Amino acid sequence: MRTSSLGIFRQGLVHMQQLQSASARTQEQIATGRRILQPSDDPISASRALSLRDSLSRFDQFDRNSNMATTRLQNEEQVLKGVNDVLQRVRELALQANNATQSNESRSMIAIEMREQLDELVALANQKDGNGRFLFAGNLDETTPVVLSGGSYSYNGDQGQRLIQIGETRTVADGDSGADVFFRNQQGNGSFLVTASATNLGSGVMGDSSVVDPSLYSGEQYTVRFVDAMNYEVVDASSTVITAGVYQSGESLIFQGIEFSIDGAPAAGDEFGVTPSGYQDVFSSIQQLAEAVETGVSGDVSRAVMNNGINRGLDDVDQAIGTILTVRTQVGARLSAVENQTDANDGFALSMQQMIGELEDLDYAEALSRLSLELGVLEAAQQSFVRTQSLSLFNFLR
């Protein structure tokens, strides 16, 4: 078969260009450390790596969301700690004021400090996060949640919770509504509330109360009415007498699964109402407690009025402390959930990065061996090409 010199030249040139291209590609792989330089190198692996990178970008977003949620929840936890400190201080002041050694003047000073604590509590409820958003306004985080107007406190936020996605199938609330934290505190012992009638003329003072038998407690309204200083009767909402007994100061009255004590000497006609617990904001509870502390005492009857008011306020404060403890527990659980999910996300991300590495990363030992072979073949081709180009019939003419 005849082959022209030009054909041999072109064929050799194409072959060397192919060898040069292969060695250049290998050198680029070694320089970048990547096996796949373009999708056409390995379409299946390239597609799989792209999908894994999309998943990694989602985990990056989850990490940012987790950091944001953690910051908000830590801010809330710090504020709730301050709220608890305020309530504990108010409780200490109330116990101090309830001591018989206090004078009207000293109790007035205690009431002043209570109102200072109340102002501090309002400031804490209106606390903002690092981005200037109110912590306890729900979804209306640009609206001041707690406002004093006309002597009463109102809530201007909503009851929503913003949910932040921290994992493929997991979300977490980054805060709590002020309505739940500050405005839904149950009164009394959480089941029922005991109140002394404003017209009482004796010195009876309410003590501890509780539900001792939930199966008997119906949640209805009752009135304990003293027939005389030694005898009482309990009537329901329809004024039907359901039980009666002999009164002894300090001993518990038990009926319909309810137990509470009365100290002192009630007068004939004195009444103590038992009603199911309602809800009251903690700000009003402290305000009413301060007013009870300021009650002027001039005798046994007025002292009983003051003691009953403080005791009722103490029950409300105790309920508020319990509410704050519950919310703090929930916040702590969410922080733990975010931390656990972050650890899980890090594990998933690391696994994906390893899978991407297995698909794209270069085997340096194999690449270097291949480059050495390719360069050797290229050099041999070049030398062969030179030798071939030097062949001519004129070399054999004499």
The β-bridge relationship of strands 146-149 and 252-255 is unpaired
pLDDT band, residue 150 (cuts 50/70/90): confident
The domain ranges of the chain are 5-52+364-396, 65-187+316-348, 192-277
pLDDT band at 349, cuts 50/70/90?
confident
pTM of the model: 0.78
8-state DSSP, 103: -
* Average pLDDT value for residue range 296-322: 94
In this structure, are residues 259 and 245 in contact, taking their beta carbons and an 8 Å threshold?
Answer: no
163-164-165 Cα angle (round to 5): 120
* pLDDT above 80 (res 172): yes
Q: Which pLDDT value is given to residue 297?
A: 92
CA 115/CA 179 separation, integer angstroms: 21
What does the DSSP assignment read for 108-146?
Answer: HHHHHHHHHHHHHHHHHHT-B-TTS-BTTSTT-TTS-SE
Specify the higher pLDDT residue, 325 or 169. 325
Topology of 65-187+316-348 in CATH? f41 fragment of flagellin, N-terminal domain (1.20.1330)
Q: Which range, of 32-36, 60-64, 91-95, averages the lowest pLDDT?
A: 32-36
**Per-residue pLDDT tens over the stretch 324-342:** 999 999 999 999 999 998 8
Cα separation, 151 vs 30, whole angstroms: 77
